[in-house]
Amino acid sequence: MVEGSRFYADRMKNVKASDIREILKLTEGRDVISLAGGLPDPRVFPREELVDIMRAIVEESLESALQYSPTKGATPFRETLRGFLSDNGVRVRSSDDIIVTTGSQQSLFLAAQVLVGPGDVVVVEEPGYLAAINVFNYAQARMVGARVDEHGMDPEVVEEKVKRLKGEGRKVKLVYANPTSQNPTGSTMTLERRKHLLEIASRYDLLIIEDDPYSFFTFEEDKPPYLKTLDTEGRVIYTSTFSKILMPGVRLGWTLADETIVLGMESLKQMVDLHSATLSQYIAMESIKRGIVASTIDRARAIYREKRDALIETLEEELAGLATWTRPIGGFFTMVELHPSINARKLLVEAIERKGVAFVPGDSFYVEEKKMNTMRLSYSFPPAEVIRVGARRLAELVKEKTPPG
């Protein structure tokens, strides 16, 4: 038989298979509490309302919903989305345009392919969202990391690296950030840091991707304004998604950016899939118009807040003084930093085999200095009681491995 991979194009060398997936295979056939993946809780999905929406589409707009539609997205949907963004505090500039994509993952892919060429420098959060790192890797970017702490990405580090690389004659183009309820750390960038980052972008002529899947259902009243809203120069490429505020199965995301950037993404998208599913766009449009996205957001906020509390309270009860973590104001994740002598990859194997708990070792999320003693814990999927049990079992193992003193 022919080995198909012999025929791969050279660019496939830039596609990295996930080694974590290999470790997580150990969970197969076992009764494991997973704090690993970031699946939404199905209780958030608007199941009952969906039947009414589908009926309304069949009765009122079936012809359009079943037809091909513009690459940028069905016009009435893009208008509805624009209104949704304005209502939620995301400023739409007069030079901005919107493109609807197949999940925000596609937004990231298209933006990277439009903007980043071999050797171009992209500053990413360290640690940062793995699938974005993969996207920039595929674009053959030279990635540098800017440390994330409990206040988000540190602009001082961004500036230091940008300055140095520009000095070396490198083309530094882009900063990628997930500033609110970050994946993987759960931290949120402060207002001061947001302003500072925008100043740096202006000073060094950079674009910023603001990847924002989690901001709509934050748990506290107070959240800093969007980078997109603070941006006065059109440097922010804002991407978000219906995955967490409706359902991931609808596979819809979008980018709001300067119209010339959207135009580039549109030309590329035409080659990729012509357009995102029209039927999904009608479902999302009706969901916004009927207040179903708003009620899904309310449900998401209540459900994930309870689960965040379950995880953070258990960590506080069990691991205070032995490890550190962020208290997320939204999203699905926190990252725990363990004693430097603990290797979280090794810990994962034991956690699965001896304790029946899984997580994602944090080192996968770093592009420069990998911290082997970190683990990403997700609270999105298991019920709150199960999260408590899982976190307690994991804490037992951590206590066992933490050297005294």
Ligand X SMILES: Cc1ncc(COP(=O)(O)O)c(C=O)c1O
> Which residues bind to ligand X, rule: CB under 6 A?
38, 103-105, 129, 178, 183, 211, 213, 241, 243, 248, 253
d(C-alpha 48, C-alpha 100), whole Å: 25
Closer residue to ligand X, CB minimum distance, 106 or 159: 106
Closer residue to ligand X, CB minimum distance, 37 or 119: 37
Closer residue to ligand X, CB minimum distance, 152 or 159: 152
Alpha helix locations (H) across 121-170?
130-138, 155-167
Closer residue to ligand X, CB minimum distance, 280 or 388: 280
Report the 10 Å Cβ neighbour count for 363.
Answer: 18
**Cα dihedral: 198, 227, 111, 67 (round 10):** -160
Peptide bond into 127 cis (omega under 30): yes
The least distance separating ligand X from the CB of residue 213, rounded to whole angstroms, comes to 5
What residue number has its CB nearest to ligand X?
103
The least distance separating ligand X from the CB of residue 100, rounded to whole angstroms, comes to 12
d(C-alpha 304, C-alpha 211), whole Å: 20
> Are the CB atoms for 70 and 326 separated by under 8 Å?
no
To 5 degrees, how large is the angle CA 337–CA 104–CA 177?
45
Closer residue to ligand X, CB minimum distance, 127 or 253: 253
The least distance separating ligand X from the CB of residue 401, rounded to whole angstroms, comes to 29
Closer residue to ligand X, CB minimum distance, 41 or 313: 41
Q: How many CA atoms lie within 13 A of 267 on its CB side?
A: 8
The least distance separating ligand X from the CB of residue 106, rounded to whole angstroms, comes to 7
The least distance separating ligand X from the CB of residue 289, rounded to whole angstroms, comes to 21
The least distance separating ligand X from the CB of residue 188, rounded to whole angstroms, comes to 13
DSSP string covering 211-259, please?
E-SSGGG-SSS--PPPHHHH-SSS-EEEEEESTTTT-GGG--EEEEEEH
